[in-house]
């Protein structure tokens, strides 16, 4: 069985913290699908197209990575792409509490799909897309938090 993992998120925008988690997850799986999906509690700043293009450009040389937009339940998208793992990045204990609740719900919906948590490297633990968007909205320089491929 091919070990396919979905790393879902809004990636609005993708940050160096996301890239760190992705790079450390690549050796763990045969294929890592980065799913750019919705979050009902967030209003995106960048289009799904723009976000997927940035991610494709970042990982263009890695054949193990696929980038796709999706809608609906993450667990349904996992089934569609035959992913048996969901990857989630954790920065703080508060992230774990939130992510564990989602993982538990997903496990009830699909017991054969396992959620894997990777902690963020300390260098990137304070970076969040929400804070980066705030810097961008207020015309600040967010370059130190973003991969070079993210042009805004």
Where are the chain's structural domains?
4-145
CA atoms in the 13 A half-sphere facing the CB of 8: 22
Catalytic residues: 18, 42, 91, 129
Give me the CATH topology for the region 4-145.
Answer: Rossmann fold (3.40.50)
Please give the Cα distance from 68 to 138 (Å, whole number). Answer: 29
How much is the pLDDT for 55?
98
Query: What would the mean pLDDT of 65-84 be, rounded to a whole number?
Result: 97
8 A C-beta contact, residue 25 and residue 5: yes
- The mean pLDDT of 88-97, rounded to a whole number, is 92
- The structure tokens listed for 40 are 């009902």
- In this prediction the pTM is 0.95
Q: Which residues contact 87 (CB under 8 A, 6 or more apart)?
A: 5, 6, 7, 21, 25, 32, 115, 116, 118
């Amino acid at each position: 069985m091919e070990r396919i993992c979905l790393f879902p998120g809004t990636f609005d925008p993708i940050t160096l913290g996301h890239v760190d988690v992705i790079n450390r997850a690549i050796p763990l799986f045969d294929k890592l699908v980065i799913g750019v999906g919705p979050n009902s509690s967030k209003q995106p700043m960048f289009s799904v197209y723009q976000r997927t293009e940035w991610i494709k450009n970042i990982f263009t040389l890695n054949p193990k990575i696929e980038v796709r937009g999706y809608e609906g339940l993450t667990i349904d998208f996992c089934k569609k792409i035959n992913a048996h793992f969901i990857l989630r990045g954790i920065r703080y204990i508060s992230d774990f509490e939130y992510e564990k609740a989602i993982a538990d719900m997903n496990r009830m919906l699909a017991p054969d799909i396992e959620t894997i948590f990777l902690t963020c490297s300390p260098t990137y633990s304070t970076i969040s897309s929400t804070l980066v968007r705030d810097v961008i909205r207020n015309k600040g320089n967010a370059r130190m938090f973003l991969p070079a491929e993210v042009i805004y």
